[in-house]
Structure 1
């Protein structure tokens, strides 16, 4: 259980549990708006480039995308094959989209439509500019909607997405918002839709970064939150050939809570009817 996990920040402070962290970082009203605003302010100050969003490790983008593509092709083989045959139009949502790197290098090559969700306006504006440029050859998909919003606040359109891709942004969510996210995201998925989470992972407990209001969790911490959210973990894989001085990165493929998925399917059917 997460209540048994200990953590620390880079300034020598120890936390006996995640609950202690969330209590001490809460605003007077019990919410965490200051926590979230600090994270957005940090990214507003970063360079709007691949190198900027990757913390100076821009060269890792190819490594990242290669393993992501392999997992995507494995987990969504049936859906992608149907798209290749012209039998299905696929839609994805890129969460924590930054300057559109994942959409540009991965998602738009496999999905017909990609929406982007990013709380930093200057990063999202760069993404829109980058993705409007014509390339040769043209990728399969286009970027359609750009949401300047955080994951903790976004309401998903019912039944729109085959894939919700969440990369390097779960670490900004409180545990409560981490769990509630999956109930909301499940509504946004088609009946056979999947959620992909790619995230930094520490060895034990959790590590707080006060500069950008982030929380790097251990694999066991992540799995506990997934269980509490009611999602099924289909894949749990380690990113390969990653720089040893960086946190390990893991990739998770998740099926949403059954009740929320059923509600999403019913909503989608009602819209089509």
Structure 2
């Protein structure tokens, strides 16, 4: 099978998988909805290192936003306005019409896009947040997106990736087309994209059954 066909199938499987995922917190968290608040608090504390007084607080972009769980729990309380991106229309509609509540008034734009095809506006965002979505891009497409994202940061802006990181090597889940990369492999992709890593922190408080989750800040 040609490489192009393999990549096309890789992305098709992910889109097909999420068609069956309910637009709810349970759907966003899989079988681990009970750790949602632990996850959000870890993200809030990590963001504080780069938020007010460092990066600006005018606008953030939530990539792979789903129904807006991270936007609602982490980003909306900090930023004046939000832009949200996801490939699933059902998730974005549920976010706008129901889940976000009054926070929906702070959303400047919703983008119905696959991340590998999205070209963010230049010099627009103080923070770009990618949680459990970098894993759905090939190495090449992740590197290219990070290069584009770098151009879309405002002065002192940061990109934050939060994702599962393999203890060794890379692991492909053929069901949802996610790639769990070793932390050093992720760092190499980031640096190859021309970004400087500012901080790396492990999410604490998750069950042992969960592949370790790490947060990486870069610009």
**TM-score w.r.t. length of structure 2:** 0.94
CA distance in 1, matches of 2:12, 2:192: 26
Match of 1:241, SS state, is: coil
Gap change, CA 1:239 and 1:27, over 3 Å in 2: same
- Are the equivalent residues in 2 in contact too, given 1:25–1:35 (CA < 8 A)? no
> Counterpart of 2:107?
143
1:74 aligns with 2:42: no
Match of 2:62, SS state, is: strand
Which among 149, 163, 187 is matched to residue 223 of structure 1? 187
CA distance in 2, matches of 1:211, 1:161: 33
> Counterpart of 2:92?
124
Which among 26, 32, 39 is matched to residue 3 of structure 2? 26
> Counterpart of 1:19?
none
- Are the equivalent residues in 2 in contact too, given 1:172–1:215 (CA < 8 A)? yes
Gap change, CA 1:217 and 1:196, over 3 Å in 2: same
Aligned residue pair count: 219
Task: Give 1:1-273 correspondences, 5 Å limit.
Answer: 26-28=3-5, 32-79=7-54, 90-131=58-99, 133-134=101-102, 142-255=106-219
- Are the equivalent residues in 2 in contact too, given 1:93–1:114 (CA < 8 A)? yes
In the TM superposition, what is the alpha-carbon distance from 1:144 to its structure 2 partner? 2.2
In the TM superposition, what is the alpha-carbon distance from 1:27 to its structure 2 partner? 3.5
Gaps of 5+ in 1: 1-23, 81-87, 256-273
In the TM superposition, what is the alpha-carbon distance from 1:26 to its structure 2 partner? 3.0
Structure whose alpha-carbon radius of gyration is higher: 1
Gap change, CA 1:93 and 1:181, over 3 Å in 2: same
Per-residue deviation, residues 179-233 of structure 1 (Å, max 9, x unmatched): 1111111121102110010010110001110001111001111111112112111
CA distance in 2, matches of 1:212, 1:249: 18
Gap change, CA 1:208 and 1:112, over 3 Å in 2: same
Per-residue deviation, residues 81-121 of structure 1 (Å, max 9, x unmatched): xxxxxxx7610000010111001111000001011010011
Per-residue deviation, residues 132-176 of structure 1 (Å, max 9, x unmatched): 523xxxx69712211111111101111111000010000111111
Gaps of 5+ in 2: none
